Amino acid sequence: MTTDPFGWARSLDTLFDQVWTRLSRGVHDRHAPARHPTLATVSTRGRPQARTVVLRAADKGNGTLLVYTDLQSHKVAELQVSPFAALHIWDSGAHLQIRLAASVSILTGTDVAELWRDMPDHGRMAYGSTPSPGTPLSDALGYNKIPDPEAFAVLHLTIESIDVVHLGPDHRRAEYCREGGWVGQWLAP
């Protein structure tokens, strides 16, 4: 008897569970593919932008994710104008492409004080940069990173839909929407 290692891809429910298993693994294992999703936003000029982020929390019950960023970064300015993000993960081990569409709230100050308090010193180094990210420099290393709680922002992603493709012996694609209570729908790949 052989077992299909991707048997979970055959039903909408188990495929959905697998997506959240992978997201959760990204939060807890820094070597997991979902640790470093690509976050796409729309710039103030209406152009697509994409960059690597670190997944910090994944809440299946609420369908929400957390990503940390520097408040001075371009993505924050973009999200203030167009508060929507696409999050993309390619998990090669699972042969799984996960695409999330989310609306985004930007949390700062007292709302994130507890997360800041719980962060180790080396983690804090990523928030607070002089000059701010993206500023032209005459020397490549002409910047300072000094942890600054005022520069710490948390992107709170409320997932609206999940589009997942499994590239196994058969290709399967499904979509799950918050509005539909996360009941899945198969799609043509």
Binding residues among 5-24 for its own copies as defined by CB under 8 A: 10
Which residue of 7, 13, 17, 143 would you call a contact of its own copies, by CB under 8 A?
Answer: 143
Which string of DSSP letters, residue by residue, matches 18-32? Answer: HHHHHHHHHHH-TTS
The candidate with the shortest Cα–Cα distance to 15, out of 73, 74, 96, is 96
The candidate with the shortest Cα–Cα distance to 154, out of 85, 65, 33, 31, is 65
Nearer to its own copies, 69 or 129 (CB): 129
Q: Smallest distance from the beta carbon of 70 to its own copies, in angstroms? A: 10
| Residue 76 within binding range of its own copies, rule CB under 8 A | no
Q: Which stretch binds its own copies (CB under 8 A): 18-26, 38-46, 60-68, 148-156?
A: 38-46
Cα distances (angstroms) measured from residue 126 to each of 87, 129, 145, 156:
21, 8, 7, 18
Which residues here bind its own copies, judged by CB under 8 A? Answer: 10, 36, 38, 40-42, 46-52, 82, 84-88, 90, 97, 99, 101, 129-143, 170, 172-174, 185-189
